[in-house]
Amino acid sequence: MLRFRNRLRMSSPSLAALGIVERSAAKAHASLIAAGWAEIGYGYHGSVHAHPNHPDIVVRLARKADGFGDYVALLRRGFAGSDGPHAPRVHDLHVSRCGALMTVSARLTDPTPDTWWLAYAHAVLVDHPGVVLDEGVRDRFKAAWPAHEPAVDHASFDGVRESFRAAWPGYEAYVASLRAASPRALDPNVGNVLVGRDGSPVVNDPLCDDGFGLWRSPLSRLTARFSNALRRVRGELRGRTPAAA
């Protein structure tokens, strides 16, 4: 097992303290369900679980190391606002040999659709040169906030921008710092801004799903890139080999 060790305050509740032993991609999901960790959300290749005995935390399982692992690695390094209310509190993270990623973090909630700042918070994620929303994401924005277009300068944000900055002055700086540190543009999906216990917007999972392995050491990342390149070359060579008659 590869243990994630960093300068984050990895205190209780940890996976070990919660009694979560099975952490493989193949068996962890069923093990969590059997132990009472009900699935409360899911993504492309992961799920989020909650337990009635631990109402303030969630366990997130990804069957491969993804953008959330990179996000935690960036939080570990620290940047403007990373210790503030707009960053998720991650208590523990574990990556298995097969690449499954499991985390323990503070529980966040979905804002109500009429939350006055919600559309603007997402627009801050979107507002970046060169970022173009695909039609699927744009349709989800329109369905969630029919009165808003996902663009900061849209007229529907008149007055909201000023109120938002007054309420949470560090949010835009946090997103700007994250954008500068991240490997690629931020993911503007509608589920990537949630609400913390104090009611502030929290940038929950802003990086793309294709993990860059930032949680690895530099040597480990180099080794992984070399191994992937070698596998590609071998695959190409096998593809060129004439098939048996």
For residue 200, CA distances in Å to 82, 85, 180, 193, 197 come to 14, 7, 22, 10, 7
Residue of higher predicted confidence among 46 and 230: 46
**Count of CB atoms within 10 A of residue 136's CB?**
9
pLDDT value of position 3 = 37
Q: Distance between CA atoms of 167 and 92, rounded to whole angstroms?
A: 30
pLDDT value of position 138 = 79
Task: With a cut of 70, say whether residue 4 has pLDDT above it.
Answer: no
pLDDT value of position 239 = 57
Q: Tell me the pLDDT of the chain averaged across its residues.
A: 81
pLDDT value of position 100 = 86
Mean pLDDT of 148-163: 76
Task: With a cut of 70, say whether residue 69 has pLDDT above it.
Answer: yes
For residue 15, CA distances in Å to 18, 74, 94, 108, 225 come to 5, 21, 8, 18, 29
Mean pLDDT of 26-53: 92
pLDDT value of position 228 = 63
- What percentage of the chain reaches a pLDDT higher than 70? 77
Q: pLDDT per residue over 188-242, tens digit each?
A: 777 889 999 888 999 998 987 766 667 666 676 667 667 667 766 776 666 544 4
Q: Which residue has the tokens 């543009």?
A: 185
Do 95 and 215 form a contact (C-beta atoms < 8 A)?
yes
Reported as a pLDDT band with limits 50, 70 and 90, residue 48 is very high
Start-to-end C-alpha separation, the chain: 44
Q: pLDDT per residue over 87-143, tens digit each?
A: 999 999 898 877 789 999 999 998 887 888 888 888 888 776 666 677 777 788 888
- pTM passes above 0.85: no
Residue of higher predicted confidence among 229 and 42: 42
